[in-house]
Amino acid sequence: MILDSIFHLSLLIGVILSFLLSMYIFFVPPKNLSNTTLGSLILVWTTTVFVYVFKSDEFFIQYPHLYSVIDAIVLLFFPLMYFYIKFYFTPTSKVSYSLLLHFLPVFFYFIAFSPFFILSSTQKVEFLTNGMPEWFMPYSLFFDFIIIMQGVIYSLKSAKILYQFHDTSKISDDLRWSIRFMKFFIFSNIFLWALGTAGVVLQILNVQVTINFFHFFYFGLTCLMLTIGFCAFKWPNLFLHLKPMNEIKASKETVVIEEEIDTMSIEENNRLNEESQRLLELIEEKKPYLKNDLKMQELADITEFSYKKISQLLNNELDTSFYELMNDFRLKEVLKLIDEGKHIQFNLPHIGEQAGFNSKTTFNRIFKQKIGQTPSEYIKGLSQ
């Protein structure tokens, strides 16, 4: 009894806090359709948990008009859950009369049980004391089945909305956290639906078990409401208005396009790098730089590249000019000739001319600029 009292007290405290949460979501900005729907859902949850806390034969005999009326509210659980997710991810959705079709089960519930609802309190107490009419139980079982099917249908419809964002690598961090919260929201509802369904099936089959599934259901529902309240204060961005779905998709498409452009840029850079290496290999192989008055068009004629392509590769990939590149190759040729001992047989201006330099002045200047010594100083250093 003590544990049972503690349990009901915990639920009652949770109900009070959840009621305040529903009012907070209702009236504190940002006010939007999704938050209004969430506030309505939490208020519905709060009402059912509140009734469960005080639910007893004595309670309904004292307040007979409440018997079975509250059960109709459960038919609102999953439609409101679905509408919350729908309005959250598609804030431009308009409220139309067609949405009322989702609440038809509630309307039919009141029609079906109207013969009981229109009775006086004395007549209802008599039924509660002596037993309900024969038609009452089959109708109750039918609407229990409707609630179970709602859990399946609306969970699938909600999951379908979230599936549009299954690839979270191409969306913003804010949207990624919102999707995680919605996944938690849906899976929590599915878990609670499973607990409630298990309790109903065991009750129908009159199977006695030590676990009270309805205790777990209402305790879990209270925990879910308090968790939503914690998230509302800790991460208020989760409850802000999202961009319309078409803008989100456009954003995702923009990211995809940017990635494609990046991929194309990488491929283009790789291709240009390969072409520049090929150009250097051809220059090394055919040695056109040995001609001291070489023109770039002549280089184009010798190699497989056009004048325009060579200019592009020199400026963008090799970061040099045509004449500077040719002089670099000529300098390498000079160093090679010196290594072969040609400086012993020929004087330095002749070696420079053989390498393609068109004047002694240019030869000495380039040598000094690149090597840091004059040709004569370089050779003296070799002999030491």
Residue 250 counted as domain residue? no
Q: What is the mean pLDDT of residues 312-326?
A: 88
User: Is the confidence at residue 285, as pLDDT, over 60?
Assistant: yes
Residue 306 counted as domain residue? yes
> Could you give the dihedral angle defined by the CA atoms of residues 267, 271, 277 and 278, in that order, rounded to the nearest 10 degrees?
160
More confident residue, 113 or 35: 113
Residues 177 and 288 in one domain: no
Query: CB neighbours (10 Å) of residue 206?
Result: 6
Residue 315 counted as domain residue? yes
pLDDT value for 204: 84
Min mean pLDDT across 15-29, 108-122, 290-304, 360-374 is at: 15-29
Radius of gyration of the chain (CA): 41
Mean pLDDT of the chain, nearest integer? 84
Listed in sequence order, the residues at least 6 apart from 284 whose beta carbon sits closer than 8 Å to its beta carbon are: 329
Residue 248 counted as domain residue? no
Residues 288 and 169 in one domain: no
Query: CB neighbours (10 Å) of residue 307?
Result: 13
Listed in sequence order, the residues at least 6 apart from 143 whose beta carbon sits closer than 8 Å to its beta carbon are: 71, 75, 105, 109, 112
Residues 43 and 167 in one domain: yes
Is 276:313 a contact under the CB 8 Å cutoff?
A: yes
Q: What percent of the chain has pLDDT over 90?
A: 25
Listed in sequence order, the residues at least 6 apart from 364 whose beta carbon sits closer than 8 Å to its beta carbon are: 374, 375
pLDDT value for 263: 56
Q: How far apart are CA 35 and CA 299, in angstroms?
A: 71
pLDDT digits (tens, 9 = 90+) for 215-245: 899 999 999 999 988 888 777 777 765 554 4
Residues 38 and 90 in one domain: yes
The phi, psi pair for 244, rounded to 5°, reads: -60, 155
| CA distance readout (Å), 136 to 15, 111, 294 | 30, 13, 105
pLDDT value for 258: 52
Residues 359 and 313 in one domain: yes
What CATH number is attached to the domain comprising 318?
Answer: 1.10.10.60
Residues 176 and 300 in one domain: no
Q: Which residue has 């940002």 as its token pair?
A: 30
Q: How far apart are CA 202 and CA 204, in angstroms?
A: 5
Considering only CA atoms, which of 106, 103, 100 is closest in space to residue 72? 106
Q: Which residue has 């059960």 as its token pair?
A: 71
Residues 342 and 300 in one domain: yes
Residues 181 and 235 in one domain: yes
Q: What is the mean pLDDT of residues 193-212?
A: 87
pLDDT value for 248: 47
Is 101:55 a contact under the CB 8 Å cutoff?
A: no
Q: Of 242, 273, 296, at which residue does a domain stop?
A: 242
Q: What is the mean pLDDT of residues 119-134?
A: 90
Residue 251 counted as domain residue? no
pLDDT digits (tens, 9 = 90+) for 147-178: 999 999 999 999 888 887 776 666 667 777 88
The single-letter code of the amino acid at 58 is E
Residues 174 and 226 in one domain: yes
User: Is the confidence at residue 256, as pLDDT, over 80?
Assistant: no
Residues 263 and 162 in one domain: no
Q: What is the mean pLDDT of residues 111-123?
A: 92
pLDDT value for 102: 92
Q: Which residue has 């520049």 as its token pair?
A: 276
pLDDT digits (tens, 9 = 90+) for 56-107: 778 888 888 888 887 889 999 999 999 998 888 776 667 778 888 999 999 9
Residues 101 and 202 in one domain: yes
Residue 71 counted as domain residue? yes
Q: Is 135 helix (H, G, I), strand (E, B) or coil?
A: coil
Looking at 205-321, list the stretches that DSSP marks H as alpha helix, in order from N- to C-terminal side: 213-234, 245-286, 296-302, 307-312
Confidence bin at 42 (pLDDT 50/70/90): very high
What CATH number is attached to the domain comprising 54?
Answer: 1.20.1070
More confident residue, 189 or 250: 189
Confidence bin at 342 (pLDDT 50/70/90): confident
pLDDT value for 273: 84
User: Is the confidence at residue 138, as pLDDT, over 50?
Assistant: yes
Is 46:70 a contact under the CB 8 Å cutoff?
A: no
Q: What is the mean pLDDT of residues 13-33?
A: 81
Listed in sequence order, the residues at least 6 apart from 162 whose beta carbon sits closer than 8 Å to its beta carbon are: 85, 179, 182, 183, 186
Q: Which domain holds residue 345?
A: 256-383
Total domains, the chain: 2
The single-letter code of the amino acid at 383 is S
Residues 170 and 289 in one domain: no
Listed in sequence order, the residues at least 6 apart from 104 whose beta carbon sits closer than 8 Å to its beta carbon are: none
Greatest Cα pair distance, the chain, in angstroms, is 132
pLDDT value for 46: 92
Q: What is the mean pLDDT of residues 255-261?
A: 50
